[in-house]
Amino acid sequence: MPQDEISRTERLAELRRSEHELADFFENASIPFHWVGPDGIILRANRAELEIFGYARDEYVGHPIAEFHVDQEMIEDILERLRRGETLHDYEARMRAKDGAIRHVLINSSVMWENGKFIHTRGLTRDISSRKRSERRTAMEHAVTRLLAESRTLAEASRKTLQVISEYLEWQFGAFWEVDDDAKRLRCVEVWRSATRDFSAFEAICRQFTFPMGIGLPGRVWKNREATWIPDVTQDNNFPRASVVSREGLRGAFAFPIKLGGEILGIMEFFSSDIRQPDEPLLKTVEAIGREIGQFAERLRAEQELHKKNKELQAAIEEFQVMQEELRAQNEELFQTQAAVENERKRYQELFEFAPDGDLVTDIHGNIFEANQAAVKQLNTPLAALVGKPITDFVHPQDKMSFCAELIGIPIDSAVKKWEGRLVPTESNPFDAALTVTAVRDAREQPVGLRWLIHEVTEHKRVVDALRRSEEKLRQQSQELEQQLIASGRLVSLGEITASMAHEFNNPLGIIMGFIEDMLSGTDPADPNYRPLKIVDEESKRCKKIISDLMEYARPRSTELCLTNVAASIEKTLQLVENRLYKQKVAVVKAFEADLPRIYADPQQLEQVLINLYLNAIDAMPDGGTLTVETKVEWVDRSPSEIVLRLADTGFGIDENNLAKIFQPFFSAKKRRGLGLGLPICARIVKNHGGRIDVESRPGQGTTFKLYLPLNHEVAGNQGETG
């Protein structure tokens, strides 16, 4: 072989080896590489590039590079610069990984040109997500620390914290749920939402919802007392707001508690429009922030307590200054004391003399030496005749023994003594009196006499006797009421027996109705026997309805709650009575408010109420008429509060005397139409749903029923669908 041929072969082999090495270097290099064509399509990517984003080769190569960039204006800028011949150095961008996570990268890229033609880019990608996360989280922690130092209330701090965490971590919605200790529930008190999208509907739902412990993301964090992450809330089986967040386009969520020692003050939760995988370091960071906010709350409490103490101290200082002023004033008043004492003595003498009750002063043996005008009048004895007389001279003979036994020893023990008995005035009838006796002492606290206050209680005793008679009358009435309650209990037992009998009647009645139905189907309507059979059939059905009402009233079934579409229930029940409406020539007018929210209700019970009201309306319009069915939402404080259903007919109406009785059991304004249990059952069902039912009617003008059903009400029963 010629030498030049050998050299050419060796050069080709060397070239192939170099190409192989370059291809191996490109594919297996630790640095991510990619090529992008002039049309923006990825032409080639090495293993490192695929690994940082988690894509298989066919999921990445051959796709537009813009498909993986979060910010479309940024990739357009990159391609435009490269087309102009620029070389990119550490161009910062955000790209979406296969799991939905956002990767922060630095791109270094240039274009391979051939004869002035754009062949492809040569790009290096460096993942700086960890660094960016660290920088953002550090900046976020500093921002939270700074805002807590600047905030003056927990509401201000929570509102600012929601914004800082959302903006620094690129989450679109944040809410603060505060613990309501009295209701044992969480309530949404603060919300922050990104301006890039309208989340006002979700905000309204959050402010409407309350969560008990363990329910929903906030309730779960409250119960577990630790931060929780949900990659996709639409796939979570304990997220009552799932249907709403799905419409709003929110997916990832996390929440953490605000702790003050062992106490949970509230929960902060955040939402992202992306599916985000759990980030344990972030959860530890926000848990630390939760503790920091708790310490802030504790500091607020301490500051408030300190402020309170300062106010108390200031008040004490002011009080001390007042006391000093009072002491100076007292020193001045000392010079006026003698005159004041004299004036007081005169005033006391006047009070003693003109007091409404009798006032006697005796020596320690009970001999009178002073008496006021009231005592003179009570004892019907002049003052001169009273002085020197023993007080016992005026005590009724039958009461003297108790008088002496109870009032002996007054000067010794200084106790206040009380006695009730009869006093006998001079030449007058005895009267009932209450005596209060105290010792009169000298400056050395030695007893020198007794003071007797005489209060006539004849009228008081008359009132007491009247009260005693009233009490006896009330006791008799109480016994009568007790007997009525016993009778009421017997009525309850009778109701249970009635329900049991109704159950027993159902079987033979069902057999009779079956036979009648068979006989009717085999009898020509022109046959003379057809009409009597038809009457028996109708009366059997009426009996069936009576039995059904009895059983429903005596043994109502439990309420099974689930989210219920009220408009759909109305449409369904109208279809069920469509034949009756047609036969009775009743036209239906419907006026439903758009986007009527769903409520927690028992659909079967709600439909039972509607059908009962429809049938009552149809019966009230034997010659035809109009049945109007309307729905609307009542709002309170800019939030939906309840749904109002209005059912109005143009029938013969109900007179005023009967209108007040229609919800009473066994009352019916109709002739031969059951037992009058339909409306009481309706009222009980609506009440069990936390609502109410009103009625308006005028004879000859028709009747209107209004049902008020709450949108957010805790009703006893089993809840079905949540969310």
The answer on 521 and 393 residing in a single domain is: no
pLDDT below 50 — which residues of the chain? 486-488, 490-491, 494, 715-723
Beta 447-456 vs 358-362: how paired, if at all? antiparallel
The answer on 429 and 470 residing in a single domain is: no
Domain endpoint, select from 411, 440, 456? 456
How far is Cα 129 from Cα 151, in angstroms, rounded to an integer?
A: 32
The answer on 96 and 34 residing in a single domain is: yes
The answer on 138 and 103 residing in a single domain is: no
How far is Cα 453 from Cα 356, in angstroms, rounded to an integer?
A: 10
Query: Is residue 257 in some structural domain?
Result: yes
CA angle 426, 429, 432 (to 5 degrees): 105
The answer on 291 and 171 residing in a single domain is: yes
Q: Where are the alpha helices (DSSP H) in 436-559?
A: 458-521, 530-554
Residue of 449, 448, 417 whose CA lies nearest to 435: 417
Check which CATH number belongs to the domain holding 138 and give it.
3.30.450.40
SS3 1: coil
Tell me which H or E stretch contains 169.
helix 154-169
The answer on 575 and 684 residing in a single domain is: yes
How far is Cα 368 from Cα 348, in angstroms, rounded to an integer?
A: 19
How far is Cα 328 from Cα 326, in angstroms, rounded to an integer?
A: 5
Check which CATH number belongs to the domain holding 610 and give it.
3.30.565.10
Burial (Cβ within 10 Å: 0-12, 13-18, ≥19) of residue 437: buried
Q: Where are the alpha helices (DSSP H) in 29-108?
A: 47-53, 57-60, 72-83
Would you say 249 and 274 are in contact if contact means Cβ atoms under 8 Å apart? Answer: no
First to last CA, the chain: 84
R_g of the chain computed on alpha carbons: 47
Query: Is residue 334 in some structural domain?
Result: no
The answer on 366 and 222 residing in a single domain is: no
Residue type, 265: L
Query: Is residue 340 in some structural domain?
Result: no
| Residue-wise pLDDT tens digits, 474-533 | 666 655 555 555 444 544 554 566 666 665 666 677 677 776 777 777 787 877 767 767
State residue 287's pLDDT score.
93
Query: Is residue 242 in some structural domain?
Result: yes
Give the total number of structural domains in the chain. 5
Domain endpoint, select from 82, 110, 127? 127
Q: Where are the alpha helices (DSSP H) in 355-457?
A: 373-379, 383-386, 400-407, 410-413
Would you say 359 and 390 are in contact if contact means Cβ atoms under 8 Å apart? Answer: no
DSSP 65: G
How far is Cα 379 from Cα 499, in angstroms, rounded to an integer?
A: 76
DSSP string, 106-164: EEEEEEEEETTEEEEEEEEEEE-HHHHHHHHHHHHHHHHHHHHHH-SSHHHHHHHHHHH
Distances (CA, A) of 329 to 322, 334, 336, 423, 612: 10, 9, 11, 50, 84
DSSP 390: B
Query: Is residue 329 in some structural domain?
Result: no
Q: Is the pTM of this model over 0.75?
A: no
The answer on 438 and 378 residing in a single domain is: yes
Would you say 189 and 176 are in contact if contact means Cβ atoms under 8 Å apart? Answer: yes
The answer on 694 and 655 residing in a single domain is: yes
SS3 370: strand
Would you say 391 and 358 are in contact if contact means Cβ atoms under 8 Å apart? Answer: no
The answer on 224 and 207 residing in a single domain is: yes
CA dihedral of residues 147, 149, 152, 157 (deg, nearest 10) = 30
The answer on 437 and 498 residing in a single domain is: no
What are the phi and psi torsion angles at 678 (to 5°)? -60, -55
Residue 536: give the domain boundaries. Answer: 462-546
The answer on 256 and 142 residing in a single domain is: yes
Q: How many helices (H) and strands (E) does the chain have?
A: 22, 24
Tokens encoding 521: 């189907």
Domain endpoint, select from 103, 127, 151? 127
**Which is it for the CA torsion 467, 473, 474, 479, positive or negative?**
positive
State residue 720's pLDDT score.
45
Check which CATH number belongs to the domain holding 118 and give it.
3.30.450.20
What are the phi and psi torsion angles at 718 (to 5°)? -95, 130
Query: Is residue 337 in some structural domain?
Result: no
Query: Is residue 12 in some structural domain?
Result: no
Query: Is residue 594 in some structural domain?
Result: yes
Distances (CA, A) of 506 to 495, 519, 537, 541, 713: 17, 20, 15, 11, 37
DSSP 556: P
How far is Cα 168 from Cα 136, in angstroms, rounded to an integer?
A: 6
DSSP E strands, 325-377? 358-362, 368-371
Distances (CA, A) of 429 to 396, 404, 422, 464: 10, 22, 10, 21
